[in-house]
Amino acid sequence: MEESTNSSVIRDNNRQKRTREKVINLAMQVLAKNPTASLNEIAEAAEVGRATLFRYFKSRKQLIQELVVEADRKLEDATRPIIEKNLSARDTLEEFVKVLVPLGASFHFLNSEQLHSEGSGIEDLYRNQLVRLKVLSKRLRAEKVVATDIPLVWIAAVLDNLIYTAWVTVLDGDIAPNDAPGLVLFSFLNGFAHL
Amino acid sequence: MEESTNSSVIRDNNRQKRTREKVINLAMQVLAKNPTASLNEIAEAAEVGRATLFRYFKSRKQLIQELVVEADRKLEDATRPIIEKNLSARDTLEEFVKVLVPLGASFHFLNSEQLHSEGSGIEDLYRNQLVRLKVLSKRLRAEKVVATDIPLVWIAAVLDNLIYTAWVTVLDGDIAPNDAPGLVLFSFLNGFAHL
DNA sequence: TTCATTTGATACATTAAAGTATCACATGAA
DNA sequence: TTCATGTGATACTTTAATGTATCAAATGAA
């Protein structure tokens, strides 16, 4: 599978773009929930022919690699504007959670063990997201938004997983999309202890 | 692969038992982290020959099904004695977390999307663990250990994921095994807000 | 309506992993 | 030490998924 070369007459390049994006989005979701899903299952989810996958991606492996790159790009696009706002750590956390929960598939995709193969040339992307969360967690500690005696790696890991859990729970229809970011924030900061 | 039939002369049945348990434990861990791992990778992790897998399990599919059954059994064995103690919900939570964190692989295995196939005859086991957590969450609410206005499914999902996150973080060597249950409990009840 | 381009269905080829069989070596209870 | 049994290595077969090629149908901009 490979991306079509540009021709001098482009009659429906938007259609190709739409098809490719649809495949990437659906593939991301399917593989986030089931890394063993076949190309046939991905094609069905994306409502395209299996042959169409090969028109855009050279192989299953390349599809997955592009999913990783795309996931990282999406997460970067979503979080960079927030960082550039130079908000307080607390407000940054809130904005982060709002944009990251809907991106749960992209989120989880980068953390999948399946992708941790050497020589794929995209290893660093795996760590990007956890680095983003560590940086944020450091700022939260520095600004005393969170406790200072909890290991940083634990704080970042919990935030990571809360965001993914919210995404899955929304996908399962168990909580409303609008409620999800608030639940993540509440759980992360306050826990569930009855007051 | 299939379990050997009993013969009238059993010279080293314990060895078989040890081999089978080793395979199950290592397979559980490997597949919890990478559901796409091959039988070769599982065999290597378990330090057995690939042919040995087929001496105990008829097929990859049957191995996985037995992992699910074994995971559920382990979780049931670990949690039933706690329930039978009739402790307060708060103390039950603490005991649950202590025994479930080390079983993170078993834990996560049951929640894996990969296994949600109809007709496997073990679908109900997938829900057992979340049911256990929901029952516990309900008691926590009833005894006012946790807030009463948070959706039950969210409380259970977060507890579920905190336990698994702890298991992975210990496995990665980022937190000490002894610290893990305490961190889970603290995060679940108090969150990270600086006081 | 036209028609250039995109796509789905499907037949076929290839490949990687699963599954089987066999034999020599390893193990450990007796 | 013996030797029945368990196991690893490996060759081979089977299978399921990947990957390729082709053609008719679908699509949608012009």
CA-nearest residue to B190 within chain A is A191
pLDDT score for B4 = 41
CA distance B148 to B95: 22
CA-nearest residue to B111 within chain A is A33
CA-nearest residue to B37 within chain A is A114
pLDDT score of B44 more than 90? yes
Residue linked to tokens 């690939």: B50
| D chain positions with any atom within 7 Å of a protein CB | 4-11, 16-22, 27-30
A55 CB neighbours strand C below 7 A? yes
Q: In terms of Cα–Cα distance, which of B157, B32, B37, B139 is closest to B92?
A: B139
Q: B68-190 domain in CATH 2.40.50?
A: no
What are the pLDDT digits (tens) for A77-135?
Answer: 999 999 999 999 999 999 999 999 999 888 778 777 666 555 556 677 777 888 889 99
Q: Which of B168, B189, B192 to mutate to test the interface with A (most CBs of A within 10 A)?
A: B192
User: Is residue A6 very low, low, confident or very high in pLDDT (cuts 50, 70, 90)?
Assistant: very low
B19 CB neighbours strand D below 7 A? yes
Q: A170 vs chain B: nearest CA distance in angstroms?
A: 10
Name the residue type at position B177.
P
pLDDT score for A117 = 57
Interchain pair B151, A195: CB under 8 A = no
ipTM tops the 0.90 cut: no
pLDDT score for B112 = 72
CA distance A127 to A89: 21
**CB distance B40 to B65 below 8 Å:** no
pLDDT score for B159 = 94
B33 CB neighbours in chain A (<8 A) are 113
Find all residues with CB under 8 Å of B107, minimum gap 6, and list them.
B71, B75, B100, B129, B160, B163, B164, B167
Across the interface, of A157, A174, A189, the residue whose CB is closest to B169 is A157
Average pLDDT of chain B is 87
pLDDT score for A11 = 59
Instruction: Please tell me which residue lies nearest to nucleotide D7, judged from CA to C1'.
Output: B52
Interchain pair A174, B168: CB under 8 A = no
pLDDT score of B8 more than 50? no
Class of domain B11-57: mainly alpha
DSSP string for A122-190:
-HHHHHHHHHHHHHHHHHHHHTTSB-SSS-HHHHHHHHHHHHHHHHHHHHTTSS-TTTHHHHHHHHHHH
What is the percent of chain B where pLDDT is above 70? Answer: 88
Instruction: Calculate the angstrom distance between C1' of D30 and CA of A121.
Output: 43
Say whether residue A189 is in contact with chain B using an 8 A CB cutoff: yes
pLDDT score for B93 = 95
B172 CB neighbours strand D below 7 A? no
CA distance B103 to B98: 10
CA distance B3 to A188: 47
Beta bridge partners of B146: A193
CA distance A158 to A161: 5
A7 CB neighbours strand C below 7 A? yes
Q: Which helix (H) or strand (E) holds A93?
A: helix A89-100
DSSP string for A36-62:
T--HHHHHHHHTS-HHHHHHH-SSHHH
Q: In terms of Cα–Cα distance, which of B42, B76, B83, B72 is closest to B59?
A: B42
**CB distance A143 to B192 below 8 Å:** no
pLDDT score for B114 = 64
Interchain pair A147, B192: CB under 8 A = yes
| Residue A67 or residue B117, greater confidence | A67
Locate B86 and state its tokens.
């009739």
Largest CA distance in chain A: 68
Locate A88 and state its tokens.
């307080």
Q: Which of A158, A164, A175 to mutate to test the interface with B (most CBs of B within 10 A)?
A: A158
A109-123, A149-163, B105-119, range with greatest mean pLDDT = A149-163
User: Is residue B34 very low, low, confident or very high in pLDDT (cuts 50, 70, 90)?
Assistant: confident
What are the pLDDT digits (tens) for A50-71?
Answer: 999 999 999 999 999 999 999 9
Interchain pair B183, A150: CB under 8 A = yes
Q: What are the residue ranges spanned by the domains of chain A?
A: 8-57, 67-190
Query: Domain A8-57 carries which CATH code?
Result: 1.10.10.60
Locate A60 and state its tokens.
């299953």
User: Is residue A33 very low, low, confident or very high in pLDDT (cuts 50, 70, 90)?
Assistant: confident
Interchain pair A147, B195: CB under 8 A = yes
Say whether residue A164 is in contact with chain B using an 8 A CB cutoff: yes
pLDDT score of B6 more than 50? no
* Span A144-160, average pLDDT: 92
pLDDT score of B9 more than 80? no
User: Is residue B7 very low, low, confident or very high in pLDDT (cuts 50, 70, 90)?
Assistant: very low
User: Is residue B107 very low, low, confident or very high in pLDDT (cuts 50, 70, 90)?
Assistant: confident
Q: A144 vs chain B: nearest CA distance in angstroms?
A: 6
pLDDT score of B157 more than 70? yes
B residues 86-145 lying closer than 8 A (beta carbon) to A:
113-114, 140, 144-145
Query: Domain A67-190, what fold?
Result: Tetracycline Repressor; domain 2 (1.10.357)
User: Is residue A3 very low, low, confident or very high in pLDDT (cuts 50, 70, 90)?
Assistant: very low
